[in-house]
């Protein structure tokens, strides 16, 4: 299935910064009509200007994705402005870093509301508009941490696990009824976005992504691929694939490998003091930005993603070839 992006109506949540902002800019270059949603109104206005300059058409809609009524209103306003919704892209996220005993119940609840319920509400609001249309696609930006957990991010990890599970259930329901609506879930590796500067930290310092780190463009490219060529699941970045392989091949020793060999606790701490500001309960401020402060260490491409994950048929072919080679080797060994 191929869906050209030009003239599509696309809703992008979390559009004020990071992957959401970069996705909106790429969609604008393709000539899409975009509903931009986030809490930071200033960032939405600057993005709308950029989208228009690049040839896209934008509707800015300040939205708190943790509030169902606002997400439902975003969907209705988008249809009222553009006539339909072709694709809904869930990108909104926040983060709180610390050991579980350091986190308050309110902090855990808010992180789950924004990250998990925000995407669930997006999927449900999109469905309400897409079912009467008998067409549409949903793209969720989850995380490789939806497959393999790491310490210091328990609410984030739990929420991303939930996104993957909810999306899989929804996709199966749609498949069962023969619906043309598609659901794709992306599992990115660590990405150089402003998330880490905006995170609430109980570490005493600012947090940082676990290497390897990729630029937001890598994920935004994958989002556009999922819009035009939907697929159920796509890992973005070889680092994320390594996490998945650790989980699958060594589930019992994964924690030891990540803690002792991967040094995942130490590698999530910077040497920069935390300034005490975050966007957990309130919107971020400023004009918005695509990238965070780890650009010097971030990869601008992922050959693994573009060569394999964006073309799942190639993965199946490689697995089949590998299986045939294994069977051949076993037969020769028995002679």
Catalytically active residues, by annotation: 156
For tokens 């109980």, the residue is 202
Alpha helices in 208-281 (DSSP H): 216-228, 238-249, 254-256
Beta-sheet strands, E only, within the chain: 9-13, 33-38, 57-62, 87-90, 96-97, 137-141, 182-188, 190-191, 200-201, 205-207, 213-214, 233-236, 269-273, 298-299
- 164-167, long-range: CB < 8 A, 24+ apart: 164/233, 166/116, 166/119, 166/120, 166/123, 167/119, 167/123, 167/138, 167/140, 167/142
At residue 14, φ and ψ (nearest 5 deg) are 65, 35
Q: Percent helix, strand, coil in the chain (nearest 5)?
A: 50, 15, 35
At residue 161, φ and ψ (nearest 5 deg) are -55, -45
Name 251's Cβ contacts closer than 8 Å, sequence gap at least 6.
none
CA distance 207 to 197: 8
């Amino acid at each position: 299935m191929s869906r050209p992006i030009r003239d599509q109506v696309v809703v992008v949540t979390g559009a004020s910064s990071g992957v959401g902002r970069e996705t909106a800019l790429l969609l604008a270059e393709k000539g899409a009509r975009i509903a931009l949603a986030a809490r930071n109104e200033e960032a939405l206005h600057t993005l709308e200007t950029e989208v228009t300059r690049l040839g896209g058409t934008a509707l800015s809609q300040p939205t708190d994705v943790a509030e169902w009524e606002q997400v439902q209103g975003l969907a209705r306003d988008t249809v009222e402005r553009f006539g339909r919704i072709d694709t809904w892209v869930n990108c909104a996220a926040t983060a709180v870093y610390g050991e579980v005993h350091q986190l308050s119940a309110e902090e855990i609840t808010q992180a789950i509301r924004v990250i998990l319920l925000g995407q669930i509400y997006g999927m449900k609001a999109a469905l309400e508009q897409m079912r009467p249309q008998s067409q549409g696609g949903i793209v969720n930006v989850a995380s490789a941490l939806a497959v393999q957990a790491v310490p210091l991010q328990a609410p984030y990890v739990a929420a991303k696990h939930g996104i993957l599970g909810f999306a899989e259930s929804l996709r199966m329901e749609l498949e069962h009824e023969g619906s043309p609506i598609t659901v794709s879930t992306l599992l990115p590796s660590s990405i150089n976005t402003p998330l880490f500067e905006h995170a609430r930290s109980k570490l005493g310092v600012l947090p940082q992504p676990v290497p390897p780190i990729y630029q937001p463009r890598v994920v935004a490219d994958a989002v556009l691929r999922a819009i035009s060529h939907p697929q159920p699941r796509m890992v973005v970045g070889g680092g994320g694939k390594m996490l998945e392989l650790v989980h699958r091949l060594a589930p019992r020793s994964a924690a030891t490998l990540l803690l002792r060999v991967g040094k995942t606790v130490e590698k999530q701490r910077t040497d920069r003091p935390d300034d005490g500001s975050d966007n957990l309960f309130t919107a971020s401020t400023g004009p918005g930005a695509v990238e965070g402060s780890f650009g010097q260490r971030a990869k601008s491409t992922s050959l693994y993603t573009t060569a394999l994950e964006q073309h799942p048929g190639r993965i199946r072919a490689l697995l089949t070839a590998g299986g045939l080679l294994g069977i051949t080797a076993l037969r020769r060994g028995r002679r």
